[in-house]
């Protein structure tokens, strides 16, 4: 089964320093990777770098190193283009989703992915998508 990894999990993996919290998210990530074929898109990577710096003060260089060591070897990167935009524009209007979230869904739909790993409950509005998060 294919899953789409959204920004929050990667941000937590990149920024958490408390060992108890960090191990929880690391184990969740490893469990997902062992059970599913994981995908994301370049907007998630952009959000990861931006949020890590803006909210947690992580230098860009460290986030890039994190992506190259922890994300790219294990998660496939989906392309974004006109077809994804077409899906996204409809989702923005119909569900009032953020443009970036709509593009994620467009990439998922175009690649036969219907499960997203995200704490963002906005994705629950989309009937074709199932959202899962750490419990």
Give DSSP secondary structure letters for 39-73.
EEEHHHHHHHHHHHHHHH---HHHHHHHIIIIITT
pLDDT of residue 105: 97
Question: Per-domain residue ranges for the chain?
Answer: 2-132
Q: Which residues of the chain have pLDDT under 70?
A: none
Q: Which token pair is 123?
A: 């994705």
Q: What is the CATH number of domain 2-132?
A: 3.40.50.1010
Taking the model in full, what pTM does it have? 0.95
pLDDT of residue 96: 93
pLDDT of residue 135: 78
Q: How far apart are CA 25 and CA 13, in angstroms?
A: 6
């Amino acid at each position: 089964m294919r899953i789409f990894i959204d920004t929050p999990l990667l941000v937590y993996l990149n920024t958490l320093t408390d060992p108890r919290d960090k191990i929880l998210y690391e184990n969740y990530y490893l469990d997902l990777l062992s059970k599913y074929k994981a995908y994301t898109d370049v907007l998630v990577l952009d959000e990861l770098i931006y949020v890590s710096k803006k909210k947690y003060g992580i230098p860009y260089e460290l986030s890039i190193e994190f992506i190259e060591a922890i994300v790219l070897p294990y998660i496939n990167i989906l392309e974004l283009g006109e077809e994804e935009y077409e899906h996204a524009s409809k989702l923005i209007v119909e569900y009032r989703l953020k443009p970036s979230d709509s593009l994620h869904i467009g990439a998922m739909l175009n690649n036969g992915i219907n499960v997203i790993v995200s704490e963002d409950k906005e994705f629950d509005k989309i009937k074709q998508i199932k959202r899962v998060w750490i419990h």
